[in-house]
Amino acid sequence: MPGNDPFVRHDSQIVVGNETTQGTAVTPTRTFGIIDGETDMPDPEVEWQDERSISAGAQRELTGKEPGRNVYDGGSLPILPVDGYTIAWLLGADSVTSDTGLDASGSTTSDTGTTLHTITVDNSPKPSTKTIEATYFGNGGASDFVRTFTGAAPPTGTISVDNESQLRTELDVMALGVTPGTTPTTGISDDTRSPWLFHDTESNLSIGGTTYARVTNFEWEVTTNVDPRWYIQSASPEDPYELLWQNVEHSVTVTVVPDDDSLFQEVIGRDDSGDATIQFHEPDADERLRFEFANVGTSTADHKYPEEGNPEVEVDLTPNSAQVLVEDTVGAAAYV
């Protein structure tokens, strides 16, 4: 409105809480991590049902239209994680072991005050969902603009790091509904831990028992196939009633500067009995993050000849399953 200052990103807040019942709002308790980059929320889209009648007086314009379903998708959260929260939300299951950590080789070890999270794919029918509260704080007389999204879950997500930046998670987000308001949650502080950087790599990438030091990019895409369902029923039928899980899909892509033919041999060997691992260690908090992929099949490893210099081989890997191990020196409870 005239007279109010415009909303700005640097005067805003996005916080989150774990829902006990899918789609039932809870008070947010924490942040996602470091939200870094352009951020979209799963704002509603109304599916209008067009009507073009030829009963009488037909014309090229619409006869009318009726509001149909509300769709809550299109959300996108670019996060630099400082713990395993976003990864656990993506995969769905998290079991914790208290006073336990990892050593440099990835083996478990006794570590008082550290909680080891083992994050895996949840095989239940319905994903655990979250309440996301997104606020633009009002200035110049304007009220705060608060959107509370319930039943939020990621249909896809990408975890990646290259040879010059931080490890990043990019999550698409959908929801079951939204409630606007003017009163944001207060008292939530940022987590001051640092994200994992590319030079925090502690255990080099291993594929099928062969270790590679010259890795320039690592990317793991997870497709959870979250399926929003509408039913002919009486409780806000224009909104999705629930979210259901379908089959999960994993796609791992790494870029390697080769020094032998082992990557090529992985392809022509047509063998998926081997595993793949990579581990990071954040030294300030003394926390480790380890990715483990089982029964990895290598689809491609094209060895091109560049115009000059070294070739870089993009390797496409398809594992049967995956798990992530995360040390947490702050939170002892499961992430989901």
Q: Which of 12, 34, 15, 29 is nearest to 191 (CA)?
A: 34
Q: Which of 178, 183, 154 is nearest to 79 (CA)?
A: 154
Q: What value does the mean pLDDT of the chain take?
A: 96
Please state the rounded mean pLDDT for residues 139-163. Answer: 96
pLDDT band, very low/low/confident/very high, at 1 (cuts 50, 70, 90)? low
The pLDDT tens digits of the residues spanning 240-280 come to 999 999 999 999 999 999 999 999 999 999 999 999 999 99
Q: What is the pTM of this model?
A: 0.94
Please state the rounded mean pLDDT for residues 172-198. Answer: 96
259 Cβ contact partners less than 8 Å away, ≥ 6 residues apart = 214
* Cα→Cα distances 142→138, 159, 212, Å: 5, 38, 55
Instruction: Report pLDDT for 59.
Output: 86
- Indicate if the alpha-carbon torsion angle 36, 333, 28, 185 is positive or negative: negative
pLDDT band, very low/low/confident/very high, at 56 (cuts 50, 70, 90)? confident
pLDDT band, very low/low/confident/very high, at 283 (cuts 50, 70, 90)? very high
219 Cβ contact partners less than 8 Å away, ≥ 6 residues apart = 158, 159, 160, 252, 253, 254
The pLDDT tens digits of the residues spanning 221-241 come to 999 999 999 999 999 999 999
Instruction: Report pLDDT for 50.
Output: 95
Direct distance between the N- and C-terminal alpha carbons of the chain, in angstroms, rounded to an integer: 40
Instruction: Report pLDDT for 140.
Output: 83
Alpha carbon 241 to its chain's center: 23
> Distance between CA 34 and CA 40 in Å, rounded?
15
Please state the rounded mean pLDDT for residues 74-79. Answer: 97
Residue 305 has pLDDT above 70, yes or no: yes
Domain locations in the chain? Answer: 12-43+67-328
